[in-house]
Amino acid sequence: MACSEIPFCPGPPDHQGGPLPFIVPYGAVDTHAHVINLESLVPNRSYTSPAATEEQYLRMLDEVGMTYGVLVQVSVNGQDNEPMLKVLAKYPNRLRGVAVPLLSQADSYYQDMRDRGVVGIRVNVMFSGGGLDLSNLEECDALARDWGWHIQFLLNANDLPVLMPRMQSLRSTLVIDHMGYLRTDVGLLSAGFLALLDLVQERAWVKVSGAYRLTDQPPPYIDTVPYAQALIGAAPNRCIWGSDWPHVANWGIMPTVAQMLECLALYASEEGQRNAIMRDNPKTLYGFGD
């Protein structure tokens, strides 16, 4: 795709707070956000976005009351993890990261990532430029086992019925982004959602996030509620939440993180359940302290 053909997506609203639907507990973790460096844009990307800086990211966390955050390497920056790693290194007690590393590197390369806060590998098959895909799956699994990392998947759950034998053979911890990126009109009884539900019930973690990616409805994306509640019911101790800030590759209504929290209030109306999703579960997965 020529640079002139790459679509531009808008940036997020300047302020992410506002009236919140509940009190965010101390220790809450936003498990999914990005910093974006325009100097590291890869030519084979699916979209172009504005920069998302360290300062904007930390302001967002503070505005909505997040104690901790997890940065995920964004596809438009390919495998240049350095901008993200620099942010992680500045805030070792507050931040963790999910990287898209080069494969077959010296141990010192991976040790440096771990020392700076990387706890997982991202496999992104939804957007160009991601750097790692399903052809690298078994190699990523070996790498993750060697370094004590998990593997985070951005995939469409419609593909899971075919992928299940490979997914079940992996020995690493698995994390599924954005409820399997499954559009709500596909249905709760679709083969893809049932496979996702089985995988989550059996072993995988899942992010009940990215609601605006699954529907054409406006906030608070009511039609995503049954999907999220089914996943929470399948594995209440392995469900986590993320803001998905700065909401890249979105050309519809640009939400705020406060609106994403409104979604969570619908998914989990009971405070104890929300606190598990926002605080207890992710602290276990990402290794945050008190």
What proportion of the chain, given as a percentage, has pLDDT over 70?
98
Q: Containing H/E element for 38?
A: none
> Residues 111-119: what's their mean pLDDT?
98
Query: What is the C-alpha separation between 117 and 92, in angstroms, rounded?
Result: 7
Q: Which helix (H) or strand (E) holds 176?
A: strand 174-176
DSSP state of 187: -
pLDDT band at 196 (very low <50, low <70, confident <90, very high): very high
Per-residue pLDDT tens over the stretch 21-51: 999 999 999 999 999 999 999 999 999 999 9
For the stretch 61-92, pLDDT in tens is 999 999 999 999 999 999 999 999 999 999 99
pLDDT at 1: 52
Residues 192, 226 contacting (CB under 8 angstroms): no
Q: Is the pTM of this model over 0.75?
A: yes
CATH architecture of 28-286: Alpha-Beta Barrel (3.20)
Q: Which residues contact 170 (CB under 8 A, 6 or more apart)?
A: 137, 138, 141, 151
Q: What is the mean pLDDT of the chain?
A: 96
Q: Taking 60 as the threshold, does the pLDDT of residue 2 lie above it?
A: no
pLDDT in tens, 150-173: 999 999 999 999 999 999 999 999
Kindly tell me if the per-residue pLDDT of 145 is higher than 90.
Answer: yes
Predicted confidence (pLDDT) at residue 290 exceeds the cutoff of 80: no
* β partners of residue 205: 175
- 218-250, pLDDT tens digit by residue? 999 999 999 999 999 999 999 999 999 999 999
